[in-house]
Amino acid sequence: MRNRNRTETYHQRLVVPFEYPVLFTRGAFRKEHEALLKSLTQAASDCRKSRVAICLDDGLATAQPELRGQIEAWFQAHDDRVEMARPILLVPGGERAKNDPGVFRWLVEAFLRAGLCRHSFVMAIGGGAVLDTVGFAAALTHRGLRLIRLPTTTLAQADAGVGVKNGINFDGVKNAIGTFAPPFAVINDFDFLQTLSDKDWIAGVAEAIKVAIVRDRSFFHRLEDLAERLRRREESAMEPVIRTCAALHLAHIRQGRDPFERGAARPLDFGHWAAHALESLSEYRTNHGHAVAFGIRLDTLYAWRRGWLPEPAARAIFSLLDRCGFFSIPPVPLRWDHRTMSTLLEGLDRFREHLGGHLCVTLPREIGRTFETDDIDRRLMAESIRELLGGATRMSRSPVRRRKRAAIQF
Ligand SMILES: NC(=O)c1ccc[n+]([C@@H]2O[C@H](COP(=O)([O-])OP(=O)(O)OC[C@H]3O[C@@H](n4cnc5c(N)ncnc54)[C@H](O)[C@@H]3O)[C@@H](O)[C@H]2O)c1
Ligand SMILES: [Zn+2]
């Protein structure tokens, strides 16, 4: 008689290496510049010209009106090797790109209309939100077009543009849908940064402070030395910070043994559960970097109050954020009533769902050293939020100084 319970297993194992260069440069669209051409032609195995769709952040296009002409001229100068799919696609800048699923749909339609195939390129030029949206559309079209990212904000060059994730918001939930899709190349061109608003200029430093607290004490001390120069918009201070921050993120993805985040631990999401909740609560009027600064303060305060983080370390973190110009609470018109507080705390539940059912929050034990915990006392977390808001009960014991106006204009 046949054994109905018998199971046969054919074991399938695939090992697929991913490799991509992350360049730091200036003037990428100067005709004689090699970097772009190399990236676009290095994989061309046949004699065909590389076909490239250009997706340009509309905020960047407005701030740098000469850029479109430079892109056109660059493609004309190299039209024997590369071919630009016309027209240039102007993508709504900022979180608008991620909030409206119509933008994603419009991009996929444009890629198909332009006749792109899996050997074609999509070049995404813009802030982290545009890179996330274009990256998602490129990853799904024909199951994956080749993506070249040119990040144009400090945050995108230091963090959002160099990793392997993309995604858009859905139903009010931040990054609710997306994929893991390593890019083909990343070109960080520092010249783009000149036209950023003060708010967007400093935003990337929040991610640098985050990764320093998680991974690198000496980087934290360098940030302390550079704080005022970063706030004054000195390029010679910002560039090494972007390079180090990007390198630390790349090392984590490469060496952390979990590039596609299958496990629960997300050390580089330190401060992010509250940041994402605040962004969504404020209907995305709080910019990501400033929301991350708030999330870092909150989890630092909580870790200190639990007795897990020594007070001098908590004070140093608050002081660095103050000196860089981050508000204790990003100034968005929110009513900090009971409902707002409980919605913010629900961010912990969202984060748990996002992780796969088990809460795993990264908290600092020292600067440069963190641990993971599921032990979050919501009452104490709510008190910490209240304390950050300035209505603290035991203010004198807190490392938080009363809110003072920072120079950044919102
Ligand atoms: N995929 C990831 O791994 C990852 C990591 C971190 C953050 N993110 C995402 O990145 C987004 C935040 O990105 P961001 O901080 O770059 O902000 P952003 O993309 O929201 O851009 C901010 C503003 O700057 C404008 N802009 C872009 N470049 C400019 C320039 N050079 N000059 C003038 N204006 C310019 C944009 O039009 C926009 O209005 C968030 O959605 C966040 O979730 C993704
Ligand atoms: Zn972030």
CATH (domain of 155): 3.40.50.1970
Ligand 1 proximity of 188 Cβ (cutoff 6 Å): no
Give 251 Cα–ligand 2 centroid separation in angstroms.
Answer: 16
Is residue 252 assigned to a domain? no
Is residue 209 assigned to a domain? yes
Per-residue tens of pLDDT for the chain, all 410 residues: 567 789 999 999 999 999 999 999 999 999 989 889 998 887 755 557 889 999 999 999 999 999 999 999 999 999 999 999 999 999 999 999 999 999 999 999 999 999 999 999 999 999 999 999 999 999 999 999 999 999 999 999 999 999 999 999 998 888 999 999 999 999 999 999 999 999 999 999 999 999 999 999 999 999 999 999 999 999 999 999 999 999 999 999 999 888 998 887 788 999 999 999 999 888 899 999 999 999 999 999 999 999 999 999 999 999 999 999 998 777 677 777 788 888 889 988 888 887 777 889 999 999 999 999 999 999 999 999 888 876 443 333 445 444 433 322 22
* The Cα angle at residue 215 between residues 164 and 386, in degrees rounded to 5: 95
pTM: 0.93
Is residue 81 assigned to a domain? yes
Is residue 13 assigned to a domain? no
Nearest CA, atom 4, ligand 1: 160
Q: Which of 260, 185, 140 is nearest to 19 (CA)?
A: 185
Give 297 Cα–ligand 1 centroid separation in angstroms.
Answer: 21
Ligand 1 proximity of 94 Cβ (cutoff 6 Å): yes
Q: Which of 329, 303, 327, 300 is nearest to 316 (CA)?
A: 300
Q: Same domain for 139 and 216?
A: no
What angle, rounded to 10 degrees, do the helices at 288-305 and 272-281 form? 130
Segments forming the whole domain that contains residue 85: 22-29+48-195
Question: Is 170:176 a contact under the CB 8 Å cutoff?
Answer: yes
Q: Same domain for 208 and 152?
A: no
Q: Same domain for 213 and 189?
A: no
Ligand 1 proximity of 149 Cβ (cutoff 6 Å): no
Ligand 1 proximity of 98 Cβ (cutoff 6 Å): yes
Is residue 404 assigned to a domain? no
Ligand 1 proximity of 289 Cβ (cutoff 6 Å): yes
Atom of ligand 1 nearest to the CA of 163: 3
Give 156 Cα–ligand 1 centroid separation in angstroms.
Answer: 6
Q: Same domain for 297 and 332?
A: yes
Ligand 1 proximity of 160 Cβ (cutoff 6 Å): yes
Let me know if 189 is exposed, middle or buried by CB neighbors in 10 A (0-12, 13-18, 19+). Answer: buried
Atom of ligand 1 nearest to the CA of 63: 33
**Widest CA span in the chain:** 82
Q: Same domain for 157 and 226?
A: no
**Count: domains in the chain:** 2
Q: Same domain for 64 and 121?
A: yes
Ligand 1 proximity of 127 Cβ (cutoff 6 Å): yes
d(CA 269, CA 250): 14
Atom of ligand 1 nearest to the CA of 94: 20
Q: Same domain for 212 and 345?
A: yes
Q: Same domain for 53 and 186?
A: yes
Q: Same domain for 160 and 265?
A: no
Atom of ligand 1 nearest to the CA of 130: 19
Give 278 Cα–ligand 2 centroid separation in angstroms.
Answer: 13
Q: Same domain for 91 and 189?
A: yes
Give 127 Cα–ligand 1 centroid separation in angstroms.
Answer: 3
